[in-house]
Amino acid sequence: MAVLPPLLAFLLVAPPASARVFPTPILVDDEVELRSLYQDGTLTEDDLELLLELLNDPVNINRARRNGLYDLPGVTLSMATAIVADRKANGPYPNVESLLRVPGMTADVVEQLLPYAEALPPSPPPGSLTGHVRAKSAWFFQPVDEFDPAHPNRTHTAGQLGYDRIPDSYLKGRFRYMKWLKVGYLGLAQDGLSSVAYDPESRDFYGSWGAPVFELGKVYAQAERGDNELVLGSYTTGFGVGLTFDSTNRTHPHGIYPDLTVTGTERFSLRKGQFGVAGRLGAMRLSDSLALDTTVFASTWRYNIYQYDLGVGGYEGLDPLVDETSSPRVYVETPDGEWWKGGWLTIPDAYQESVVGANSTLEIGEQLDVGATAYFGHINAHVLRGVEDNYELVLRSAWPETRDYGAVGVHASYLTGTTEFLGEFSQSLNIGGTTDHRGGQAALVKGIFDLGRGELETSLRHYGTHFDNPHARGLAAADEYGGQRDRDEQGARVKLQYEPSLWLGVRFMGEVWRRPSLGTTNMELYGRVEWKPFEDVSLIVLADHRNRDLANNGRTREYGGDYIDYSEYGADIDQPRIDQLIDESFEVIEGAGSKNYWGTQLKVNALPRTKLTAYYKRTYTDEGYLYPAWDDGYCDYWYMIGHYVWFKAQVKPIDATSITLRGRYEDEDVHGSKGLRYVEGYLQVDQKLPKRIKVGVRGMMMRDLNDPDAEFKDPCNRAGAPDLCGTCVCEDIEDTEETELKTKGMVWVTLDWRF
């Protein structure tokens, strides 16, 4: 609770800021391009997940609240406020492009938000039916290593077992009948395990393959009447700034969102949401200035789980941070009737979650909202055949140690002019836990402001070590504690976008956070400058510095190990000399170090119907500590310099046809053989047909490149580069034999029909 005074002080003295700030203008309209921005380093994982959700379920600009509107790319807080005011004064928008009538809106902003927004008419003609249908199939081609029956205990891929040979496909439809009824459907067909049984004696799983497995992914029916709504089927809910309950990926969710989200480039996957019933009684007027908005929800659904996110041999009260469990062995029946050990598999219907919850928000005038949220959840982890004890299986991915849990919290937002403050306090509940704690506290406050020619967002957060809430989605760094990001963390973040002139734009993000349980402090700085010397030419320079204990692997990596006590080596230095550590035993911090990069991008739109873009990035990854290689007596100092370059050309020979060509090359360790080294390219053709039909075809090819070791080795092989050897004495070694190089490819076909 000591964090509350500084948080309150922040709310009172925070400098002006604005709406959600993306690190770069979002000018892409498909998942592959969004993931490329993430790989480039210009999108965070939170930004990527939000944009993927909006791409699947666009924001209805004729219904969305202010906070929902400025999730859209390019929309500032003042723009979102102006959209709501214009909608009230001048009526609904006939299409997204009509947002240009809003004061302050520009054509550049409308271009960014087109793929993520829609304008559903509030009063369609009687008997009218509108909708959007999308079908997509993906064929993935890659060489399969030869199956070796002489090694029955070796882990085999699905391809080696004789499966994974058909295209993955999905069909999705969103329909609206008249004014009040919406329905949606998402079905998938792809290779995978169709059934799994557990053997309690051997603690192994045995599964049958389906080719394809037809899965009713998501389905919903939604009825609306004014601000009231009822949803049956698949949906997500969220409130406040996401600390108490949020199953969406939105920044400031409020209410119910029908859900048809599907993601994936090689295989399609469904995001965990909710399935059941949810109702909202919106804006119930208590007086001229008071209105009450209430949402209740209940859901239950069986979820799939990745094989290595599951452990066996659990027990009640197990603490996943202390107690270790083994990943299950999964045996798959081959087409020949043999049983072989499989790996990298997804176990279907592995566990069931049931949740009930509610939120009530009091709206005081146009400026102030105050609300409360509570939910309770239960995990049933013995739904698989053969599993009898609810604690036999350990869910390693973000779930509490108890099977009954929940959270309660309060949230508020206050709008004054073009400035908004938001905050939430939450208490997690470990119901029936056998450990010495029953949950923890978390608090998050934000200041969101408009700077005229820019915008700034500031925030402070405190997440307790025992804040064990699997449905929290507040602002957080990419690290995890017990599989959860919003836990064991204190931090501050500043995000800025400013355009002092029409030809210059600046974006900045700075963040500092600490882990109370470890006493470690981490930092990330990101900067981007865009210069437009001519109307059709822009040059971008960006840089990022991450100083943290998670240099490479983001959310999937956890902290581990201990700091080295250098004093025992008799040297008052940050790191011991190599000769002091030879033949010594010491411990290191797993994954400690930093990762840095700088990049530059050139965009040229001067050619008719053509857009050209080139990008180059230089990376520097320093794990920061010495790793003993006991087999050969060497110590490996993990330091990598890499680079990454791509070129893209987009051509529209006619208005109905768009052709995109892109080539990419990456080497994560230019002086050695760590990491990836490959070339990749794709060609995509998008064709618009009559009756609002669009067909897209993309072919992609990726080729591994030979990546030999450095030409020398030394007692501290700092990636093999001469200028990185320090005081080491380098020894020449023979080139490593070339490894087998692989070529893989993919073909995607999509069809969109709007009516």
Helix (H) or strand (E) holding 751: strand 743-754
Summarize the confidence of residues 519-531 as an average pLDDT: 88
Higher-confidence position of 67 and 528: 528
For the chain, report the end-to-end CA distance as a whole number of angstroms: 54
Q: Return the closest-CA partner of residue 64 out of 49, 47, 79.
A: 79
Rounded Cα–Cα distance for residues 235 and 484 (Å)? 22
Rounded Cα–Cα distance for residues 410 and 661 (Å)? 50
Q: Return the closest-CA partner of residue 680 out of 657, 647, 652, 728.
A: 647
Q: Based on C-alpha coordinates, what's the Rg of the chain?
A: 27
- Quick check: 478 pLDDT over 90? no
Question: Beta strand pairing status for 489-501 and 634-654?
Answer: unpaired
Query: CB neighbours (10 Å) of residue 65?
Result: 16
Question: 596 by DSSP, 3-state: which?
Answer: strand
pTM attached to this predicted model: 0.86
- Quick check: 721 pLDDT over 70? no
Q: Is residue 87 part of a domain?
A: no
Query: CB neighbours (10 Å) of residue 41?
Result: 21
Confidence of residue 7 (pLDDT cuts 50, 70, 90): very low
Give, in degrees to the nearest 5, the angle at Cα 115 between 109 and 116.
80
Q: Give residue 553's region: left, alpha or beta (phi > 0; psi -120 to 50).
A: alpha
pLDDT of 288 reads 85
pLDDT digits (tens, 9 = 90+) for 359-374: 999 999 888 999 999 9
Summarize the confidence of residues 9-28 as an average pLDDT: 53
pLDDT of 638 reads 57
Q: Cα-Cα-Cα-Cα dihedral of 382, 386, 392, 393, to 10°?
A: -70
Confidence of residue 511 (pLDDT cuts 50, 70, 90): very high
Provide, rounded to the nearest whole percent, the portion of the chain with pLDDT above 70: 82
- Quick check: 716 pLDDT over 80? no
pLDDT of 509 reads 93
Phi, psi angles (nearest 5°) of residue 223: -110, 135
Summarize the confidence of residues 635-643 as an average pLDDT: 67
Query: CB neighbours (10 Å) of residue 176?
Result: 20
pLDDT of 563 reads 38
pLDDT digits (tens, 9 = 90+) for 135-185: 999 998 888 887 777 776 788 888 888 888 889 999 999 998 887 899 999
- Quick check: 330 pLDDT over 50? yes
Tally of domains in the chain = 1
Query: CB neighbours (10 Å) of residue 370?
Result: 14
Summarize the confidence of residues 253-268 as an average pLDDT: 88
Confidence of residue 470 (pLDDT cuts 50, 70, 90): very high
Rounded Cα–Cα distance for residues 38 and 110 (Å)? 22
Q: Is residue 369 part of a domain?
A: no
In sequence order, the 6+-apart residues with CB closer than 8 A to the CB of 449 are 15, 16, 17, 18, 77, 418, 419, 420, 455, 456, 457
Q: Is residue 180 part of a domain?
A: no
The alpha carbon dihedral of 548, 549, 551, 554 has a sign of: negative
- The answer to whether residues 333 and 205 touch, using CB atoms and an 8 Å cutoff, is no
Rounded Cα–Cα distance for residues 377 and 395 (Å)? 15
pLDDT of 681 reads 95
Q: Is residue 675 part of a domain?
A: yes
pLDDT of 318 reads 61
Tokens describing residue 661: 């060509």
Q: Is residue 590 part of a domain?
A: yes
Confidence of residue 696 (pLDDT cuts 50, 70, 90): very high
- Using alpha carbons, list the distances in angstroms from residue 65 to 19, 26, 210, 282, 459: 14, 21, 44, 12, 22
E strand spans, 633-734: 634-654, 657-667, 677-689, 693-704, 712-713, 731-732
Summarize the confidence of residues 283-309 as an average pLDDT: 91
- The answer to whether residues 359 and 371 touch, using CB atoms and an 8 Å cutoff, is yes
Confidence of residue 593 (pLDDT cuts 50, 70, 90): low
Summarize the confidence of residues 37-48 as an average pLDDT: 81
Burial 42-56 (b: 16+ CB within 10 A, else e): bbbeebbbbbbbbbb
pLDDT digits (tens, 9 = 90+) for 451-460: 888 889 999 9
3-state secondary structure 12-36: HHCCCCCCCCCCCCCCCCCHHHHHH
In sequence order, the 6+-apart residues with CB closer than 8 A to the CB of 407 are 243, 244, 245, 373, 374, 375, 426, 427, 428, 429, 439, 469, 471, 472
pLDDT of 562 reads 37
Instruction: Give me the chain's average pLDDT, please.
Output: 81
Q: Is residue 648 part of a domain?
A: yes
Confidence of residue 220 (pLDDT cuts 50, 70, 90): very high
pLDDT of 314 reads 67
Mean pLDDT lowest among 2-11, 87-96, 410-419: 2-11
Confidence of residue 592 (pLDDT cuts 50, 70, 90): low
Q: Is residue 232 part of a domain?
A: no
Confidence of residue 31 (pLDDT cuts 50, 70, 90): confident
Point out which residues pair with 426 in neighbouring strands. 409, 442
Phi, psi angles (nearest 5°) of residue 692: 60, 40
pLDDT digits (tens, 9 = 90+) for 52-102: 889 888 999 998 888 889 889 988 888 888 999 999 899 999 989 999 999
pLDDT of 495 reads 93
Q: Please identify which residue in the block is written with the tokens 């995000």.
A: 495
Q: At what angle do helices 45-56 and 31-40 cross, to 10 degrees?
A: 170
Higher-confidence position of 491 and 741: 491
- Quick check: 728 pLDDT over 50? no
- The answer to whether residues 218 and 186 touch, using CB atoms and an 8 Å cutoff, is yes
- The answer to whether residues 111 and 117 touch, using CB atoms and an 8 Å cutoff, is no
Q: Return the closest-CA partner of residue 154 out of 347, 342, 344.
A: 342
Please tell me what DSSP assigns to residue 477.
-
Q: Is residue 557 part of a domain?
A: yes
Q: Please identify which residue in the block is written with the tokens 């023979």.
A: 734
- Quick check: 720 pLDDT over 70? no
- Quick check: 444 pLDDT over 80? yes
Domain range spanning residue 568? 551-755
Rounded Cα–Cα distance for residues 367 and 295 (Å)? 21
Rounded Cα–Cα distance for residues 336 and 92 (Å)? 62
